[in-house]
Amino acid sequence: VENVQLLDRLSSRKAALGTLYLTATHVIFVENGSETRKETWVLHSQISSIEKQATTASGCPLVIRCKNFQVIQLVIPQERDCHDIYISLIRLARPVKYEELYCFSFNLKLDKEEREQGWKLVDLNEEYNRMGIPNNYWQISDVNRDYGVCDSYPTELYVPKSVTAHIIVGSSKFRSRRRFPALSYYCKCNNASICRSSQPLSGFSARCLEDEQMLQAIRKANPGSDFLYVVDTRPKLNAMANRAAGKGYENEDNYSNIKFQFIGIENIHVMRNSLQKMLEVCDLKSPSMSDFLWGLENSGWLKHIKAIMDAGIFIAKAVAEEGVSVLVHCSDGWDRTAQVCSVASLLLDPYYRTMKGFMVLIEKDWVSFGHKFNHRYGNLDGDPKEISPVIDQFIECVWQLMEQFPCAFEFNERFLIHIQHHVYSCQFGNFLCNSQKERRELKIRERTYSLWAHMWKSRADYLNPLYRSDHSQTQGTMHTQIAPFNFLYKFWSGMYNRFEKGLHPRQSVTDYLMAVKEETQQLEEELEVLQERLANLQKSHLNGNKVKSKQQDQSKQLGLSTSNNSLANTPQEYSNDLKSFPSRSPSQGDEEDSALILTQDNLKSSDLDLSANSDQESGVEDLSCRSSSAGGCLPSEDSGKDSDEAVFLAV
C-alpha cells in the first residue's frame, strides 16, 4: 500500500510518508525520500494487538502494538486497504500451528553440524556438574525419562540420593500437575540448596507420607542445617483460597523441621493488568510529570518488581548466610517459582552474571522446568488470560540489579533487551512450546536454530565494559542494600519506551566505554607489532644488515560514533506557542514545523560524520577520531593531528 503515514508516537507533528508491505513474516514500512529510505520491520509474532480507529480526513488510522513495546501508528489513505491490512494482520499475528512460526522458515544458512553445535552451547548436565552434582547427597533421577511422572518436567532431574522412585512418584501425586520437588540450585560451599515444586494437594487436612519424606530428604541433604525453609511465593490469601480446591500449602505440623513462609507475589492476571496500566502511561501523549508518576504508581508495577526481588533476596540470604536449604513453590511452580529461583541464583552465584551463565540460568529455571512460553507470550493463538509478562519481570529484576551493581554483570542492557525481544519473536526455537516434551515432539533442535549460539557469536556487542572477572562486585553473593529507603527500583524506559529513542540519554556511557575498550584492544595489538619491529630493527641495525621494512597497512579505522547525533540535534516540542510565529524566516521554507524536525544542516553534518569514520582510503590511521560528537569527527579537524603519522607513511 502506498502513501501510508507513519506517525511518531510521542509527537503528533512528525509523520513519515511511505509504503507499507506485508510479507509472510513481517510488516515492513519503507519511508519515501530518496536518500534515507528508512525501513521499519515488524515481525508478525511481535504483534500483540491491532486496532482500527475511526476514519479521519487524512485516512484510516491503524495502531499496531507489539510485545516488545513498540507501537506503530499508521494512517492508510483508503478505508478498504486499511480493512484488508487489518484482517490480514489479525490472521498473521495469530498463528494456530507451530509450523507457521518464523523459526521454521528462518534460515541462518548454517550447515547441520553448526546448527547442532549451536544447540550444544548450553548444556544443563554440564551445569549441574559445575554445581558439584552428582555428589554424596544428590543424584540424577531417570524416573521421568518418558515424561511418565510429570509431563511438564524435563527427563533429567536431580533429587536427594536417599530418595527412591517410590517416594518421587508418591510425592508427585500429592503435588499440582505432579510437579514434585526437584533441585534448582546447589551451593557447593555449604551444601544448602534451592528446590522447586508446585503446591501440595493438602486441601484442609490431607497429607502424604512420601511428600513428607521427600522434604525430609531435602533437608537431610544439607547436613549442616536442622531445618528447611518452605517458601510459598503467593499472597497468603490466595494460598488459603486454594485449599478449598483441594490444593494449598504445607502444614508445619505434618512436616518435620520446616519453616513455612509466605511471600506475596501476585498472580499472572494481576501482573498482566499491571503491565497494561504501565504501558498506558508510556503511551500518553506529552504527559505531565504528575500524570506519569501517578500512572506509574497506580500500575503497581514497581511494587511487583520489588516483591519478586524481596523473595529472591530472602532465599539468597537463607542459602548464603544461614546455610539453610529452601523449597520454593507457588501454585503450579512454573511462573513465580521460576522468577524467584532465578533471581536467587543470580544473587548467589557470580557465574549466572556472566553471559554464558545467564543463558544457562534461563535454560535451567525457565525452559527445562516447563515455563509455559507458548501460553504466557502468546506465540500461538490461545487464551488471552494465559498471557502474562512473567519473564519480562525477571529480565527487569536483572536490569534493576545492574543499575545497583554496575560492575557485577558481564553483559549489558542490550543483552537483556534482545533476549526479551526473542522470547516473543519466535525466530529461534529456544522458547517455543510449553515444555521440553512438546519441544522434543516438534524436533525443535533439528528444525530451528538456537538463540544462544546466535547471541554468542555477537557477544562483543553485549559486553558490559565495566565488567572485570577479578572485580569485587563479580565475586560471591551480591549483597543488596539492607537499609530501607524508597526509590530503589526505577522505571525502565530503555525497555518500555524502547522505541522512543528521544527519551533516552543521547549519549550512551556503555557504548562509549565499549568503543574505548575496543580501541584499547587494537592498541595492545599494535603495540606488540611495533615492539617486534623495533626489536628487529635494532637487531638488524646491530648486524649492519640492510633491512627493507615492510610497510604495514595501518589503515584500520576506529570510527566510532557513540552517540546519536541526529537525535541530540533535534529539539523536542517545548511549546505550542512557537507554531504560529508570524514572521517566519524564508530559509525555513514551507515546512510547517521546521524547528522540530531534522533540518538539512543536521542531516548533512551527520552524513559527514559517517563518511569521516568510514573513510578507509585515507591511509592515515586516525586514532583520535573516536568521538562522541559529530563536530570532533569532521575530517578537516583530523588532518592536522597525525603529522607524525604522515612522516611515518612517507618512508
Partner 1 sequence: MEFAELIKTPRADNVVLHRPLHQAVEGTLCLTGHHLIFSSRRQINAEELWLLHSNIDSIEKRFVGSLGTIIIKCKDLRIIQLDIPGMEECLNIASSIEALSTLDSVTLMYPFFYRPMFEIIEDGWRAFLPEQEFELLSSVTDEWRLSCINKEFSVCSSYPPVVIVPKSIDDEALRKVASFRQGSRFPVLSYYHKKNGMVMMRSSQPLTGTNGRRCKEDEKLINATLRPGRGGYIIDTRSLTAAQQARAKGGGFEQEVHYPQWRRIHKFIERFNILQESLIKLVEACNDQSHNMDRCLSKLEASNWLTHIKKILTAACLAAQCIDREGASVLVHGTEGTDSTLQVTSLAQIILDPRCRTIRGFESLVVREWLQAGHPFQQRCAQSAYSNSKQKWEAPVFLLFLDCVWQILRQFPCSFEFNEQFLIMLFEHAYASQFGTFLGNNENERSKLKLQQKTMSLWSWVNRPEELRKFKNPLFEANSLVIWPSVAPQSLQLWEGVFLRWNKSSKFLHEAEEEMINVIKYNKELKERVDALRRQLAEMETEEMQENL
Residue 199 or 627: the one with the smaller Cβ distance to partner 1 is 627
C-alpha 577/C-alpha 596 separation (Å) is 13
C-alpha 428/C-alpha 414 separation (Å) is 18
From 6, 10, 74, 133, residue interacting with partner 1 (rule: CB under 8 A)? 10
* Contact assessment for residue 347 and residue 313, using Cβ atoms and an 8 Å cutoff: yes
- Considering just the CA atoms, what is the radius of gyration of the chain in Å? 29
Determine, following the binding rule CB under 8 A, whether residue 169 of this chain makes contact with partner 1: no
Q: How many residues bind partner 1 (CB under 8 A)?
A: 100
Determine, following the binding rule CB under 8 A, whether residue 106 of this chain makes contact with partner 1: no
Determine, following the binding rule CB under 8 A, whether residue 572 of this chain makes contact with partner 1: yes
Nearest to 469 by CA among 354, 381, 550: 354
Determine, following the binding rule CB under 8 A, whether residue 571 of this chain makes contact with partner 1: yes
From 77, 95, 382, 632, residue interacting with partner 1 (rule: CB under 8 A)? 632
Residue 87 or 509: the one with the smaller Cβ distance to partner 1 is 509
Determine, following the binding rule CB under 8 A, whether residue 583 of this chain makes contact with partner 1: yes
Helix/strand/coil (H, E, C) string of 389-427? CHHHHHHHHHHHHHHHCCCCCCECHHHHHHHHHHHHHCC
Residue 41 or 648: the one with the smaller Cβ distance to partner 1 is 648
From 489, 559, 564, 612, residue interacting with partner 1 (rule: CB under 8 A)? 489
* Contact assessment for residue 150 and residue 196, using Cβ atoms and an 8 Å cutoff: no
Residue 15 or 488: the one with the smaller Cβ distance to partner 1 is 488
Nearest to 430 by CA among 158, 177, 101: 101
Determine, following the binding rule CB under 8 A, whether residue 643 of this chain makes contact with partner 1: no
Provide the Cα torsion 102, 107, 113, 117; round to 10°.
-50
Instruction: For residue 50, give Cα distances in angstroms to 14, 44, 97, 498.
Output: 21, 11, 20, 19
- Give 3-state DSSP helix, strand, coil % of the chain, rounded to 5: 45, 15, 40
Q: Is 330 a catalytic residue?
A: yes
Annotated binding residue 632: no
185: CB partners within 8 A, 6+ apart: 131, 193, 194, 319, 341, 344, 345, 348, 349
Determine, following the binding rule CB under 8 A, whether residue 104 of this chain makes contact with partner 1: no
**Residues counted in the chain:** 651
Pairing of strands 325-329, 193-197: parallel
Determine, following the binding rule CB under 8 A, whether residue 635 of this chain makes contact with partner 1: no
Helix/strand/coil (H, E, C) string of 464-498? CCCCCCCCHHHCCCCCCCCCCCCCCCCCCHHHHCC
Instruction: For residue 547, give Cα distances in angstroms to 174, 465, 551.
Output: 83, 41, 12
Residue 375 or 626: the one with the smaller Cβ distance to partner 1 is 626
Determine, following the binding rule CB under 8 A, whether residue 519 of this chain makes contact with partner 1: yes
Residue 15 or 595: the one with the smaller Cβ distance to partner 1 is 595
Min. distance of Cβ 550 from partner 1 in angstroms? 11
Count the neighbouring beta carbons within 10 Å of the beta carbon of residue 548. 6
Annotated binding residue 335: yes
C-alpha 349/C-alpha 371 separation (Å) is 22
Min. distance of Cβ 65 from partner 1 in angstroms? 18
Annotated binding residue 333: yes
Determine, following the binding rule CB under 8 A, whether residue 469 of this chain makes contact with partner 1: no
Residue 165 or 535: the one with the smaller Cβ distance to partner 1 is 535
Task: Name beta bridge partners: 229.
Answer: 259, 326
C-alpha 339/C-alpha 233 separation (Å) is 10
C-alpha 98/C-alpha 429 separation (Å) is 10
Determine, following the binding rule CB under 8 A, whether residue 617 of this chain makes contact with partner 1: no
Min. distance of Cβ 10 from partner 1 in angstroms? 7
* Contact assessment for residue 137 and residue 191, using Cβ atoms and an 8 Å cutoff: yes
Min. distance of Cβ 623 from partner 1 in angstroms? 6
From 54, 112, 485, 590, residue interacting with partner 1 (rule: CB under 8 A)? 485
Pick out residues in 381-440 that bind partner 1 (CB under 8 A).
Answer: 404-408
Residue of 330, 341, 397, 625 with catalytic role? 330
Residue keyed to cell 552474571: 353
From 227, 563, 618, 635, residue interacting with partner 1 (rule: CB under 8 A)? 563
Determine, following the binding rule CB under 8 A, whether residue 641 of this chain makes contact with partner 1: no
Residue 151 or 461: the one with the smaller Cβ distance to partner 1 is 461
Annotated binding residue 399: no
Pick out residues in 438-457 that bind partner 1 (CB under 8 A).
Answer: none
What's at 616, amino acid-wise?
Q
Count the neighbouring beta carbons within 10 Å of the beta carbon of residue 621. 19
From 531, 611, 614, 639, residue interacting with partner 1 (rule: CB under 8 A)? 531
From 512, 603, 608, 610, residue interacting with partner 1 (rule: CB under 8 A)? 512
Strands (E) across 442-586 are located at: none
Of 93-101, 224-232, 321-329, 643-651, which part binds partner 1 (CB under 8 A)?
643-651
Determine, following the binding rule CB under 8 A, whether residue 507 of this chain makes contact with partner 1: yes
Of 27-35, 325-333, 420-428, 577-585, which part binds partner 1 (CB under 8 A)?
577-585
Pick out residues in 23-82 that bind partner 1 (CB under 8 A).
Answer: none
From 594, 598, 603, 608, residue interacting with partner 1 (rule: CB under 8 A)? 594
Annotated binding residue 331: yes
From 505, 556, 592, 604, residue interacting with partner 1 (rule: CB under 8 A)? 505
C-alpha 606/C-alpha 634 separation (Å) is 10
Pick out residues in 265-304 that bind partner 1 (CB under 8 A).
Answer: 282, 286-294, 296-297, 302-303
Annotated binding residue 332: yes
Show binding-site residues for substrate.
Answer: 267-268, 330-336
Q: Which residues are catalytic?
A: 330
Q: Which residues are annotated as a binding site?
A: 267-268, 330-336
